[in-house]
Amino acid sequence: MRSVRKLSALALVVLGVSAVAPGGTPASAQPRAAKPATTPAVASKPRTVTLLTGDTVHVSTRDGQTAVDVVPGKGRERIPFITHSAGEDVRVIPADAVGLLNRGKLDERLFDISMLVGFGYDDTRATLPLIVKHSGAAPAGLAGARTTRKLFGASAVAESRADAVSFWNNVTSAASGTERQLRAGFDKIWLDGLRRPTLDVSVPLTGAPQAWQAGWTGTGVKVGVIDTGIDQTHPDLADRVAAAENFTSDPDTLDRVGHGTHVASTIAGTAAASQGRYKGMAPGATLYSAKVCVEDGCPESAILAGMTWAAQQGVKVANMSLGGPDSPETDPIEAAVADLTHRYGVLFVVAAGNSGEAGESTVNSPGSVTEALTVGAVTKTGWLASFSSRGPRASDAGIKPDITAPGVGILAARSSTSGLEPYYENPQYTSLNGTSMATPHVAGAAAILAQQHPDWAPEQIKSTLMAAAQPNAATGVYEQGAGFVNVSRAIQQTVTTSPVSVAFERTAAAQQRTITYANSGSSALTLAVSLDAKDADGTPAPAGLFSLSASSVTVPAGGTATVTVTVQAGADLPDRYFGGEVTATGGGAQVQTPVALDIARSELTLKLVGPDGGAPTPEQGWVTILTDLDRNGILVFDNPAVTKHRIRPGRYLVQTYLLTGDPYLPHVASLMRPSLDLTTDQALTMDTRLAKPIAVSVPNPKATAVHQEFGWTIRIEQPQIWGSNDPFGVLMGIPFDHLRTAQIGAGETTGFVSYVNGMWGQVRQGSLHNSPYVYRVYLYEPEKMMTGLTRKLGADDFATVRSQISADVSGVPVSRTAVAHAPGNSPIYRDERNVPPSFSYDVPSTITEYYNQDKQAVWQSTSAQLRYTYYQSAWTSFQPGRTYTVKWANAVAGPVFPEPNFGQQFATRYWGDLIGGPGPLHGDGTGHMGFRHVRGGSVEVNLYRNGVKVGDANQAPWAWEVPAEPGDYRLAATFRSDPAFTLSTVVDAEWTFKSGHVGDGELVKLPMTAIRYTPELNINNRAPANRLFAIPVSLDRQVGAAPGQTSALTVEASFDDGKTWQQLTVQRSGEKAVAWVHNPAGTGFVSLRAAATDTSGNTVKQTIIRAYRY
């Protein structure tokens, strides 16, 4: 629950568990064998996500750069889309959803593509799970969706991906301006997100045995286990489960994951299967099992239903060893924790999360809720587990987690229906790590207190456990909260504090908080009060930073007394966390209250000014998106009524959009501050009156604008091996005459580029197919946001490119796209399958394209027969007024190495001991890099080292981890094409070379050569028959590889698909040659086979069956 969010959601935070060897140590390492290694060259699996609105988002990675395409849903073709990408964070917001976001009617996560993919909510799933909050009875008959579960005041709904537009139109209605309204009776739509499930030594460490000796075992206390179910056949849990309910898609309450059983036995296991050895914290407690999780996660709707059921059963304590990414708003699970705590008196004990290695503010939802008792994990020797999530809570610097408990190497019951590894001494048990394992220790402790004090409210149990906890002096309060749970002290604790922790945000002014001590004992207590504070490194806090109003306080029996904590953060205070404990001791009592001071946060005050000079109104749609340039993430502010935002200091790009007018084709003002230094508080006025219009035209007045977009990109770090993945923002689908832009503030920003991109063509019967021409325009402004742009382009501003395109597969049209970028910045890529709308052509044919040339921009074009072939040009600049002729898909198709600055170099050794290869196996005769889809064909790639196979794959390119020592390598690849292809039906290539270890972060191109043929063929890739024919040969060594000259070359031809071969006469001069072949009479195919050796001993052999026809 945060005011803002910076999230790399593709790396979804999972409160998972991991099996460990006995004693909590990792299993012994095995020798590292050469094995396939996922690399950026092969790991960029495209993902498709259909949004709530019915629009489809395609996300992929190309040359190391994130590519995002949006295809509007049916009937939504005129809707613009706001797209932003930074690092792994991708957001796509349809224009007609902005108003509902402004008013808090839609969950932000519905448009967080990274999170949707991380949840597995891409289009491999037929439905999008939602939670619809409604007033009154659940709505019936929702078009495009079905209700899957009734919740308290809400319904779980499965929206059909195929009919999402109908659902969107059914639950919303267009109103004035860009504002859509939710249908009457609907209050809010949330994503039904996915959460993840996150003792012989550990239980005694908490002091539980001393509580048992005093008669407190949790007997009579009802404890809910909201998890994966409980194996009730386990001896330790026999007769411990009073009731069990299943809220998942599974057919029963069985625990097939094993997580819930492990948790349950840590709470209340009787140790029957271990002769009393592995007893739980509160063996007398009664368990209520709410099965809400299955192997692939825990739907939020199931969690809500399970929480409500457990509360209605009268549980006093509920264990939630699960969680998920915290969101900017109060999500449904957080709201339920707060509501059920107050309505039913349930104390929810929640895992903090296992993302501590990601740093600060990683406590997950719902552990972020104030009412939750949030648990971090420590080892059995009391040291913080590296994975344990930590604070502060981003919204207010609040201290979370609240308490810690053992969470490393925890032995507890193993479910007989799970696949968890049995413990070697006793297969009834298993050892797991995680804050999931720490949490039931505290839930059991709470059950003991609930037995001792049956009339206590949840906050009293929580405050007592925290007051009695034992802090570790070497661990910060944002990591451990009050410290390690101590049950033996808690059952004797008579003094508690309110609040249970005190946190201060960093401000220049002095701040004060009051701690109230309550004494439930029968006699007054005089307590000596002290405060010990230090920074995260253990250095004592500066004198005067923290102070107390009194050094002692007397708390009457049954009464209260107060002490005031003051913090004074001077201007010279180091920017680091400070924290410690206010400790009060006396009369045998001891209580500590964690106190912390947050690091400096900057306050950004945003003033939004509409076209009339006034403040935002309900008829306007506003959204402000900050790109964190230091940490490469995105912050979204979609409530224009909130003007002040506390943000981590750093450098930000700030962009505000205002949408007004027709909801299906709004007018948009885009305002940008390309770089804002937020090391101090800043006020920023985003005044839409400063925005100027965009107007761009082409020389042909009959040409129709078929795609127009406005965007920006910024280079914040130099490209590494696989490109820099520059952050970018794009407003897609907006006609230029509906767009106004402005830079806010003066100055230039290094690495920043704003641009407009457009395409014009001839639309006939609603189609661009076989358009006789296309104009491609890219105009950019370096280091500034465009404040409007007017450009009337004439014929002399364009180069003419005539592309002769052959057909690899008959009857399949070719799709043509092009992308441009400014020097020093990554292009905003598109997938040829998606938008901007590609121009398609029947082939073979010759087409005409016009490209403008703006400053130093470069173009890259692609040609693809969809789902069959893909070709890509090198980056090219054009000279206006000049005509170029380019051939595409011309034979002979074979291995081609990409141009030097291609982002994904394939034939390489990199990152120490990874070898990737081979290069593209189907470049065309012009030298365009090319790939074929396998379809009904096959690929076989093998890598040998010193004669021994060390890697194989059934796709190319691939990559393998290899030994560091130098070796002799042979890389062999065979690609058998789908039967639809008639040329280059088989490409077989083999390279030999030497390779050894390279430095981390380095990329060394392997000394490999491609043998490329460029015969003069007609557009059907046919040569004259019955005549002597020249085949030019190029020996294309990979640019950047170690130098080497060709020392030998042989070329052979076959006229019977490789059954027999004949040697050809070859005339060679350096790396160029001509092979002479006599094409037979009639019709048929010529296959080519060649071998070459260089002066360093590297070799290449290539065989291409059916290289060209005659």
The catalytic residue positions are 227, 259, 436
* DSSP structural state of residue 734: -
Nearest to 1071 by CA among 1094, 1051, 1053: 1094
Strand 127-134 with 186-191, pairing: antiparallel
* Cβ contacts of 1009 within 8 Å, gap of 6 or more: 991, 1035, 1036, 1037, 1038, 1046, 1092, 1094, 1098, 1100
Contact of 431 with 199, CB cutoff 8 Å: no
Give DSSP secondary structure letters for 563-616. Answer: EEEEE---TTS-SS-EEEEEEEEETTEEEEEEEEEPPP-EEEEEEEE-TTSS--
Q: Which two tokens stand for residue 660?
A: 């007004």
Distances (CA, A) of 683 to 507, 575, 610: 17, 22, 17
d(CA 673, CA 486): 52
Residue 1091 in tokens: 């071998």
Cβ burial, residue 1037 (10 Å; 0-12/13-18/19+): buried
What's the one-letter identity of residue 744? I
8 A C-beta contact, residue 115 and residue 109: yes
What contacts 249, CB < 8 A, 6 or more positions away?
294
Residue 1053 β-bridge partners: 1062, 1088
Distance (Å, whole) CA 243 – CA 315: 11
How many whole angstroms separate alpha carbon 798 and alpha carbon 780? 16
Distance CA 1028, CA 754 (A): 55
Q: Are strands 154-160 and 172-174 parallel, antiparallel or unpaired?
A: unpaired
Longest CA span, the chain: 115
CA distance 79 to 51: 13
Residue 741 backbone dihedrals phi, psi, to 5 degrees: -135, 160
Helix H or strand E encompassing 178: none
User: Token pair for residue 300?
Assistant: 């939020």
What are the two backbone dihedrals, phi and then psi, of residue 826, each rounded to the nearest 5 degrees? -75, 150
3-state secondary structure 287-348: EEEEECCECCEEEHHHHHHHHHHHHHCCCCEEEECEEECCCCCCCHHHHHHHHHHHHHCCEE
Instruction: Give the integer Cα–Cα distance in Å for 435 and 280.
Output: 16
Beta bridge partners of 672: 655, 743
DSSP states of 991-1055: EEEEE----TT-EEE---EEEEE-----TTSBPPSSEEEEEEEEEEEPTTSPP--EEEEEEEEES
On whether the CB atoms of residues 93 and 81 are closer than 8 A, the answer is yes
Paired strand residues for 865:
none
Q: How far is CA 737 from the centre of its chain?
A: 35
Instruction: Please state the three-class secondary structure of 884-911 as a single string.
Output: EEEEECCCCCECCCCCCCCCCCCCEEEC
DSSP string, 995-1013: E----TT-EEE---EEEEE
For 61, the 3-state DSSP assignment is strand
